[in-house]
Structure 1
Amino acid sequence: MSRTVHCRKYQQELPGLARPPYPGTKGLDIFENISQKAWDEWQAQQTMLINERRLSMMNTADRTFLAQQMDKFFAGDEHAKADGFTPPAQ
């Protein structure tokens, strides 16, 4: 049986992650409050941001920017999008 969490992004009970994605308190917070669905969507968004904005994970400012955008994404706040990105019609 998979574990469920009350997802911060979707405000409903959804299947959770199998393990924390990061060490420390940030990873534990994500593990306890973010669904697998929201995490997968963030991973796709993060990949677009890294590629389109040519971010480097060796650069502290770029890593900080991504962390801030991740927090906004999970909170449902306005967050950075890839340049020229148009969400698919639903």
Structure 2
Amino acid sequence: MEHEFWHERWAKDQIGFHEGTVNQYLHDHWPELAGNGTDAVFVPLCGKAHDMWWLHDRGHPIIGVELSEVACKDFFEEAQEKASVHPGEPFT
């Protein structure tokens, strides 16, 4: 899929792929994968996933990468949390 597809989905709020809760597989299997409990977790194409706050609440710094600026803004508005944001160059 092309990046325009994802930009359009977020712009039109057509995000049926977004889960309103923590991913059940992550919840069920994270204890087996967690390591020492303080390692940073990379979440590619993170959208506004609740998984990131769930992992953060368990002591992990989160590195989320997202294509859609709309998704990022939604995430921070809904979470009402402060975080470091480091914009990068858009993919071409």
TM-score if structure 2 supplies the norm length? 0.24
What TM-score comes out, normalization by structure 1 length? 0.24
Q: Which has the higher contact order (CA 8 A, sep 6+)?
A: 2
